[in-house]
Amino acid sequence: MLVCVAGLGVLGVVVLDTHERVHDLGIHKALGMTPRQTVTMVVSSVVPPGLAGGALGVPLGPAVHGAVIPAMGHAAGLRLPRSVIDAYDAQGLVLLGLAGVAVAVLGSLPPAGWAARIRTTTALRAE
């Protein structure tokens, strides 16, 4: 559910960004930019924020988990086993970091396809 919400958030941001830059896309298309290059340009605009999100989320997520879960157990009068508290391994953390980029790329593909399909004259008239 969280991945779907994140993907829809990326989709919304990229749709707004693409609509704001539609005139610029028209100029690029008039100068010879191919649809594949247009898709690459739109998708590559979300990769740095996806990497930043993964780079921030991977260390912060386990740190918050390691602080909150024991506190919740203590508040309930339980002493949780180490297997509950240590839920993340190194391989899982790397995959979670890459998932930020994957969600960003997948959320940007529909607006990138729209940007690639828009006619040059329509994009140049838009302002």
Per-residue pLDDT of 23-57, as tens digits, reads 888 888 899 999 999 999 999 988 888 888 888 88
Q: What is the pLDDT of residue 89?
A: 85
Which domain does 88 fall in, by range?
A: 2-125
Q: How many CA atoms lie within 13 A of 115 on its CB side?
A: 31
Give the pair of three-digit tokens for residue 54: 């993964």
- Complete DSSP assignment for 103-123: HHHHHHHHHHHHHHHS-HHHH
Give the mean model confidence (pLDDT) for residues 98-117. Answer: 88
Predicted local confidence at residue 127, as pLDDT:
64
Q: How many domains does the chain have?
A: 1
Rounded to the nearest integer, the mean pLDDT of the chain is 87
Averaged pLDDT, 66-90: 87
